[in-house]
Amino acid sequence: MTILQPAGGYRAAIDPVLLAAAVPAQPGETVLDAGSGTGAAALALAARLEGVDVVGLDLEPGFIGLARNSAEESGLSQSIRFVEGDLLSPPPDLAAGSFDHVMANPPYLAAGSGNPPADAAKRAATVESRARLDDWLRFLVAMACPGGTVTVIHRFDRKDEVIAGLGGDNAGLVVFPLWAKAQEARSGLSRDRDPNKQAAKRVIVQARKGQQGETRIAKGLVLHNDDGSYTPEAEAVLRNAGSLTL
């Protein structure tokens, strides 16, 4: 696929590709990518799985334009449409409960925390503004149909917020850590370690709307070898359009 991005400022990294790989969509199903940015997750999903109908929603008109051009360049414009709009007041043609799957890569930093980027577009992509994390999660759940999935990638240290926002510990959630290296995965999964101090930096959390059951902690994915190169499992997703089974 081809992805067009601004000449300066915001850049998509690997997170949206990993997010898209975790969505268990099938041909003929509908997927909403909330906060689609320049379209990386939507494009990755459509490139991996022919026959899905993907809608990307974003507040920034410049990102929407780039994403539409990227879909055209990638030969995916028949599978994806990008819509400008605010999740706090979504466009009327995006009806609640109408998507088989919903995915999102919300801003990682809470409003007022950290050192926000000077670039406005990058700041909007990485730091919460009017829409806080709980707003995002309520919107995602509302847009999924009964039995549909909601998949979110976020910082591991905010996983409890994501779990709570997607229904809590009795909602049958899957928590899938993304480990930087194998050594961190081994130490992080040790039973004598405080789970809040695990070494994973990112996590994918997935819910199925209406499902009940205890939260399941998956083994997750190790991203890098000791020399910094990607592991074969990560390469299968990032380079070869593989899927992630949570």
User: Which tokens hold the place of 207?
Assistant: 């819910």
Report CA torsion sign: 46, 101, 94, 11: negative
CA-only gyration radius of the chain, Å: 17
Supply the DSSP symbol for 197: G
Q: Which amino acid is at 154?
A: H
Question: Quick check: 192 pLDDT over 50?
Answer: no
The domain ranges of the chain are 15-238
Query: What is the second-level CATH architecture of the domain 15-238?
Result: 3-Layer(aba) Sandwich (3.40)
Does position 190 have pLDDT exceeding 50, yes or no? no
DSSP 8-class letter at 196: G
Q: Is the pLDDT of residue 119 over 90?
A: no
Enumerate residues 6+ apart whose C-beta is below 8 A from 176.
22, 203, 204, 205, 206, 218, 220, 221, 244, 246
Q: What is the pLDDT of residues 232-243, one digit of tens each?
A: 999 999 999 999
pTM: 0.90
Question: Mapped to the 3 state alphabet, what secondary structure does 109-176 carry?
Answer: ECCCCCCCCCCHHHHHHHECCCCCHHHHHHHHHHHEEEEEEEEEEEEHHHHHHHHHHCCCCCECCEEE
Work out the average pLDDT over 19-37.
97
What pLDDT digit, counting tens, does each position of 49-61 carry? 999 999 999 999 9
Number of residues that this document lists for the chain: 246
The H or E element containing residue 100 is: strand 99-104
CA proximity to 151, closest of 18, 241, 47 = 18
pLDDT at 186 over 80: no
Q: What is the pLDDT of residues 135-185, one digit of tens each?
A: 999 999 999 999 999 999 999 999 999 999 999 998 999 999 999 988 777
Distance between CA atoms of 25 and 223, rounded to whole angstroms?
23
What pLDDT, on the 0 to 100 scale, is given for residue 220?
95
Q: Lowest-pLDDT range, 11-25, 32-46, 102-116?
A: 102-116
**Region 110-118: what's the mean pLDDT?**
62
Q: Chain-wide mean pLDDT for the chain?
A: 89
Q: 129 or 99, which is more confident? A: 99
What's the rounded mean pLDDT across residues 195-199? 53
Looking at residue 239, what is its pLDDT? 94
Q: How far is C-alpha 137 from the chain's CA centre? A: 12
